[in-house]
Structure 1
């Protein structure tokens, strides 16, 4: 299995907090690695070493990224500043040749997220979580067959709130070949996929100052405590 990381965004909501690098290279207090280095390290620990990164803003940082055990390749979305994540994923079509995990680049998450996706026999699967109170949630409406009906940041647009989108999915190669990339956001391509919900998953995205503060105060201590508890 491959892994695909979407990392083309400007990260403008983080402002100067990310310095002159893409937000994936942000290293919150308490971590010894940047977000993307940590994420790739987790993937490699599960034997996923063929990793494709969809770049855009400051793409040279990803092109120079080297992580032990990982075979990294990159492809730049030339329209990254005017298009969406769906366009970035489409840009990678010649580099994807089998089932893959799809991840956003600004995530912090426990290894269990990857483990449970890999352990599940379903080939097309969206990872969902319970309530996070992050302030920027993408809510999922799931039908009785555990498939995604709709998603939105606006609760009023959904008939029910059944989970939150984590930003990690498992996608079969066949489904990828049939994607209609007219949608701006890649999430819209996943409508109809089944959802694996981990109610108590420890995770967050870091897309703004408030997210970073929450990660450093609440999420990272939980991740570190969990790691110590498993030694």
Structure 2
């Protein structure tokens, strides 16, 4: 069992405008404590010990429900000394519960789960290893309150908030062996009850190593300003490497704004997928009506559907609701939506001119659309490994945007020809690249 201790006893006075209990503050749809636990689960932790204090009853209610939802053991330990702001007392409350190395976290710190995975994968770890941020100019850091670290030969020599010279910052992510409890007891007897006091005590004995997080995300939510910065960074990290140019610069900024609002509701990712699909269906019916005004409205609705289609995955990632079924369900609805939109455009032309040629063009447009989507997964995976991603990616975002432009300009024929030709050529190009990806020079 990979055990994790989380300190969640404090009041969080600097964040009172967001909530009276910091662990319960809602951050993009989840209480901070739930976000911390779910991140740790992604990192491989499967048993939790949460130290409570201020407003312990509502906190324990959230944790009990989370334990039921995840099927994992989440134990709560009340710290009667929680009003003593020295957080070492909270860590010491779990002394009799843990006899093996464990992960120690703060309930108000956000982090990339890969930090913990990489930290625990290190071999020959000393008694304590602290994940540190060596980006001295990190804009997420509030220098007046962050704990600073001085390092020599990959070992911590000094730790504290008032260091004048330092090499990095404490992220609040610790690998600890049970020796930390003995160090805390010794320090408390000297009226030094903070966790940093115990870390300094062990550092003086050359027993505290470091793990550099490099460019990985972390944030300490201390006040409204740090909350705002962390929120912005978390949303920015929802961008996908394989986003096409339209998705990256047009759709994604709008969908992120919408997803931020949706994260605070009970709307599920699958419900968002269904709504986006419904909007696309309405657009296809408007296309099929055969006149210009419905064509314009349909084009706008198609683009709206494309934007909203990004929200389901964003909300799923924000609220840890990702699932294989959800991704598959969204992909299936996208294929149906593509077929309906292109058939609506095909019927628009056919009903106005009656030419069978338009049915053939429409057939190849739908086929090209499907094949482009079918080849996307393998191609995108290869893009991450071999292929220069600075070139323009042709995908669904571009296809829908072309439909919008064509609808506004009343050039339905050009839309279908463009989709039929470009999408099939791109699908064939991908098949060639995927056969021998290392020779691709884009």
Answer yes or no: same fold by TM over 0.5.
Answer: yes
Task: Give the conservation status (yes or no) of the 8 Å contact 1:3–1:52.
Answer: yes
Partner SS for 1:44: helix
Q: Which residue of 1 aligns with 2:149?
A: 140
Q: Deviations over 1:125-176 (max 9, x none)?
A: 1000123232132110111x211111222242xxx31111000100012443
Q: Which residue of 2 aligns with 1:170?
A: 175
Q: Which residue of 2 aligns with 1:120?
A: 122
In the alignment, structure 2 segments of 5+ residues that lack a partner are 244-379, 382-442
Q: Which residue of 1 aligns with 2:321?
A: none
Task: Give the conservation status (yes or no) of the 8 Å contact 2:146–2:170.
Answer: yes
1:187 maps to 2:196: yes
2:51 to 46, 49, 54: 54
2:235 to 189, 210, 221: 221
RCO comparison, higher one (Cα < 8 Å, 6+): 1
* CA RMSD, 1 decimal: 2.3
Is the helix fraction higher in 1 or 2? 2
2:30 to 24, 29, 33: 33
Q: CA deviation at 1:227?
A: 9.2
Q: CA deviation at 1:112?
A: 1.6
Q: CA deviation at 1:110?
A: 1.1
Q: CA deviation at 1:38?
A: 1.8
Q: Name the TM-score, length of structure 2 as normaliser.
A: 0.47
Deviates more, 1:43-52 or 1:8-17: 43-52
Q: CA deviation at 1:115?
A: 1.4
Mapped partners of 2:146, 2:179: distance in 1 = 29
Task: Give the conservation status (yes or no) of the 8 Å contact 1:202–1:222.
Answer: no
Mapped partners of 2:240, 2:5: distance in 1 = 26
Q: Deviations over 1:75-103 (max 9, x none)?
A: 11112112410011112212222210000
Partner SS for 1:225: coil
Is the strand fraction higher in 1 or 2? 1
1:150 maps to 2:158: yes
Q: Which residue of 2 aligns with 1:76?
A: 78
Task: Give the conservation status (yes or no) of the 8 Å contact 2:9–2:52.
Answer: yes
Q: CA deviation at 1:46?
A: 3.6
In the alignment, structure 1 segments of 5+ residues that lack a partner are none
Length, aligned pairs only: 222
1:88 maps to 2:90: yes
Mapped partners of 1:46, 1:201: distance in 2 = 14
